[in-house]
Amino acid sequence: MNTQHDWFKILTKCKNNVEEAIKPHLKTLNEPQPDLGKGAGGDAMKPVDLAAEKAIVNTLQSHDISFSLISEESGFEKYGNNPEECYITIDPIDGTTNLLRGLPFYASSIAVSKKPVISEVYAALVADLYHDITYIAQENKGAYRDGKKIKTSQVSSLQEAVLGIDLNTYKVTEIAPKLTDLIQQTKHIRHYGANALELCYVANGLTDSFVDIRGKLRTTDVAAGFLIIKEAGGIITDPNKQPVNVKLDPKQTLKFVASGNTKIHDTILGLVKL
């Protein structure tokens, strides 16, 4: 396994190339976008998703990296002579709906791990592609926003909190009642529509927590964001306060609560009905 690559540099290059690759697609948003069938994660694929994926793969190959790709679009692919050297888990575009509608909140997410397991991620990047802001982290080296070290929020009271909650489209009659006590006690609720980036908002202290207990979100969306939050001093567990240690697989889903500090995390877990 090779952890010796300069991942800050390589991941930043991936992000730059994704930005270039999606430019032509951003110019044609008013034209009908062809559906390219379903990606490995189960969602409809658009040309912009594949363009971003290709940019990431090409960049890694141009750095002579052997890797196993785990992508929301193409699923599992192997590259190079020694593809078990590292696993690259990507959501090429998180927030495709936002991008296609011109909503300024979408991201690219790339996580590097020794094994296809979320706890093994050791380098990660989430790029806010609209605002050209880069969140990046390496294990035990901290988390950074555009080169500046970031820390999670210390807000511990829900009366002051800004809380992200994803209630998007899925089993809402089952999930919403589990969250009503929490919503009722929280000052501000948000959902922007690209969960990889919403995790970085927790890492950066812009929001205090993010809750997604739908059981719908895939590991490809959160693999990078999880490391970025941990390296920024935050905490992530499942709704039972157990570690989230799932395999990295485009079909693998998870439930989680991610918070800036333990105090608000415990308060939230106490209010979520299981």
Q: Which residues of this chain interact with ligand IPD, rule CB under 6 A?
A: 43, 91, 94-97, 166, 168, 193-195, 216-217, 221
Residue from 40, 48, 39, 59 nearest 97 by CA = 48
Does 53 contact Ca ion by CB under 5 A? Answer: no
**CB-nearer residue toward ligand IPD: 158 or 222:** 222
**CB-nearer residue toward ligand IPD: 196 or 269:** 196
Contact code string over 177-196 relative to Ca ion, x by CB under 5 A: --------------------
Minimum separation from the CB atom of position 98 to ligand IPD (A): 7
By the 8 A CB rule, do 67 and 85 touch? Answer: yes
Residue nearest to Ca ion (CB): 91
Minimum separation from the CB atom of position 18 to ligand IPD (A): 14
Residue type, 36: L
Contact code string over 139-178 relative to Ca ion, x by CB under 5 A: ----------------------------------------
By the 8 A CB rule, do 185 and 271 touch? Answer: yes
The C-alpha atoms of residue 251 and residue 35 are separated, in whole angstroms, by 20
Residue from 143, 145, 183, 184 nearest 164 by CA = 183
Minimum separation from the CB atom of position 82 to ligand IPD (A): 29
Q: Which of 53, 91, 231, 249 binds Ca ion (CB under 5 A)?
A: 91
**CB-nearer residue toward Ca ion: 139 or 221:** 221
| CA 249 to each of CA 63, 217, 227, 235: distance values in angstroms, whole numbers, following the listed order | 24, 12, 17, 22
Residue type, 209: S
The rounded Cα 104 to chain-centroid distance in angstroms is: 16
Residue from 266, 264, 258, 263 nearest 222 by CA = 258
Residue type, 98: N
217's contact among ligand IPD, Ca ion, none, with CB below 5 to 8 A by partner kind, is ligand IPD
**CB-nearer residue toward Ca ion: 150 or 194:** 194
13's contact among Ca ion, ligand IPD, none, with CB below 5 to 8 A by partner kind, is none
What token pair was written down for 232?
């920024």
Minimum separation from the CB atom of position 126 to Ca ion (A): 12
Residue type, 41: G
**CB-nearer residue toward ligand IPD: 17 or 96:** 96
Residue type, 32: P
Residues 59-78 binding Ca ion (CB under 5 A) are: 72
239's contact among ligand IPD, Ca ion, none, with CB below 5 to 8 A by partner kind, is none
**Residues 6 or more apart in contact with residue 10 via CB below 8 angstroms:** 59, 60, 63, 65
State the residues that interact with Ca ion by CB under 5 A.
72, 91, 93
